[in-house]
Amino acid sequence: MSCVEVTEPTRKTCPLPTLGKLTRVKLHRAIVLVVMMLIAVGALVLLTAAGIANFDSHSLIALVVVVVAAAISGVAFSWKRYSRRS
């Protein structure tokens, strides 16, 4: 037997007034996110097409250097962040 009695809450809350507002905000955020993603993909396509037009050995070397540097930094970040958890 419990010493504390369960009482009925005196204040009733209704989530319906805020439900419409939250739904509109989430819809707006989703639309903005999709638009930003489409702009990013469009920019990537345009830059890639322009890059392929004048691709030479120096471009290939620069691409390899950037990819290797990104891979090394990603591994170093992950190693530093997650190696202590094991």
Chain centroid to CA 60: 29
23 has pLDDT over 70: yes
User: Cβ(67)–Cβ(74) under 8 Å?
Assistant: no
Would you state the pLDDT for residue 37? 93
Confidence of residue 32 (pLDDT cuts 50, 70, 90): very high
pTM for the predicted model, two decimal places: 0.44
- Higher-confidence position of 16 and 81: 81
CA distance 61 to 84: 35
CA distance 24 to 22: 5
15 has pLDDT over 60: no
CA distance 33 to 53: 30
